Amino acid sequence: MAEQGTATFASPDDFSAAIGAARIDLFITAGGDFNGRLTWLNLGGLHVLCGHENLPRIGFLALPPAQAIISFAANREASLTYCGVRMRFGDLVFHGLGERVHVRTDGEGIWGLISLPPELLAACSNALTGQSIRPPLEGQVIRPPLGVAKHLLFPRPVVSSRANAS
């Protein structure tokens, strides 16, 4: 059964707690009132999450060992640094199982996260490509060509081309 929703937060601690199985500690690095929003979609074992934070911060994340996770910056203007690597728009991070990471934003942060059990990732990737994809031992930054990344992050709408029956 599909579940979806959106929640807003005035506290970074409440925002972090709502993210789910990952343990996240956020340290805000600028003055101002924190505003965060999480939007989620859960389809069985597949979870998609979009986060929006208005203030720069440093995050310490302990990811769950039972989930394959891919994360990415969700807008061109957001500045995101993953474990010391400055992320470019369209970069993806394929995280290792149970990985512990540092992620920093220099301003407003908008990011996405996709997670699913490793077995489901392997089965789906095998069905689609003929190869089982498994999470890496350590997180890896993947830099697809910008045109490909743009379509991944901002897909074109699907237009039905059904012919009229006479």
Q: What is the pLDDT of residue 156?
A: 53
Nearest to 77 by CA among 51, 105, 99: 105
Map residue 156 onto helix, strand or coil: coil
Give the bridge partners for 40, in sequence order: 5, 49
Rounded distance between C-alpha atoms, residue 147 and residue 156, angstroms: 12
Averaged pLDDT, groups of 10, the chain, 166 residues long: 93 92 91 96 92 94 94 81 88 94 91 94 93 93 79 55 46
Rounded to two decimals, what is the model's pTM? 0.84
Rounded distance between C-alpha atoms, residue 60 and residue 101, angstroms: 6
Q: What are phi and psi of 147, to 5 degrees?
A: -60, -40
